[in-house]
Amino acid sequence: MNRSRQWDIFCKVIDNFGDIGVCWRLAAGLAFRGHRVRLWVDDASALTWMAPGGCNNVQVLGWTEPLDLQGANLALHPCEVLIESFGCEIAPEFIACCADRAGASGVKPVWINLEYLSAEPYVERCHALPSQVRQGPAAGWTKWFFYPGFTHQTGGLLREPGLLERQARFDGNAWLAAQGIVLSGEKRMSLFCYEPSALGGLLAQLSRHGLDGAPVRLLVTAGRAEKAVKNFVNAAASLQRTANSHGLLSISYLPCLSQCDFDHLLWACDLNFVRGEDSLVRALWSGKPFVWQLYPQDDGAHVPKLDAFLDMLEAPASLQQVHRNWNSVNLDQEPVKMTLADLAAWQTCAAAARSRLMAHDDLCSRLVGFVAKNR
């Protein structure tokens, strides 16, 4: 059995809160398994709504310049595992402190660079590769590259124990009613996105046709998705007449949701539009049909990443087409089009993918095992 350890996770919030979302799930997952975690973050404001209850054995500390090393109590709980998330370059004074203690004890922390999630082939090649630190107080130490992924040869995906059992007990209608949303047989679609160019076309299609004539309730998350939808609605008279009405499209705007309630949103819907890394994994675990928007990159690096993911997903042709349209890959195509037949095929695909991925160890378990092996 792996013993309890002290982990230090460093996180820089770049934008959109996906980085802090992943790091918080990782910290909470490790704490659930009996470990102690210090989460160093330069902007912890999102945790007030993302994880309002906090987590036992997770201490959130400000990534200030310089760090408050005294407040972290490193003397009582020295760092045993050091994680820099997404190449954020850990504060040098923390490395120096770890090096001083390692010099006295002869024991170095396991240093891990947690990378971005991808299904591209390089992930299996690069996962768990060592890199020697060549300068600074930790010169000669080894840094390990740890890649989340979708195969046994990668670091796996974040998944808490008991997730499927929790979903099986979930009552979607009751949860929606608690949010003040009462439905009358509409198809339920969640929207968590950036500003896709296909958004206006999707809203117009749903307004005129629903989903194969079936009315749709669009549940829009707070932040960028809400702003993007309101911009289109305010600019289109036809959308103004149907939004928040009893027509084929009605729209509900949600408050900021905790990570637990974001899961509930996905479970309560027939189709989910998600963005970024953390919500993609939660959409996979939901077992519901979903469309993923990658963070768009000027050099087009998101396109091969999307293609690799769709291959892994074994996505049917209609789902591939919608993904490419939603991610502005096929700019010459018509706006996103979906049918009830598509939805049924996508449901089969989502359930099969979840079943395959559930057979793999989760990311926290693989990290714990990796540390025990390399300590």
Strands 130-132 and 142-146: antiparallel
CA torsion sign for 345, 346, 349, 351 is negative
- Look up residue 366 and give its two tokens: 């693989």
* Cα 210 to the center of its chain, rounded Å: 29
4 phi and psi angles, rounded to 5 deg: -70, 140
- Look up residue 39 and give its two tokens: 């989460």
Active-site residue, selected from the candidate residues 8, 19, 84, 120: 19
Q: Which amino acid is at 149?
A: G
Residue 273 is inside which H or E element, if any?
strand 271-275
Strands 271-275 and 130-132: unpaired
**277 given a catalytic annotation:** yes
Whether 38 and 76 have beta carbons less than 8 Å apart is answered as no
Of the candidates 105, 106, 109, 107, the one whose C-alpha atom is nearest the C-alpha of residue 95 is 109
Active-site residue, selected from the candidate residues 84, 186, 261, 277: 277
Q: Please list the active-site residues.
A: 19, 277
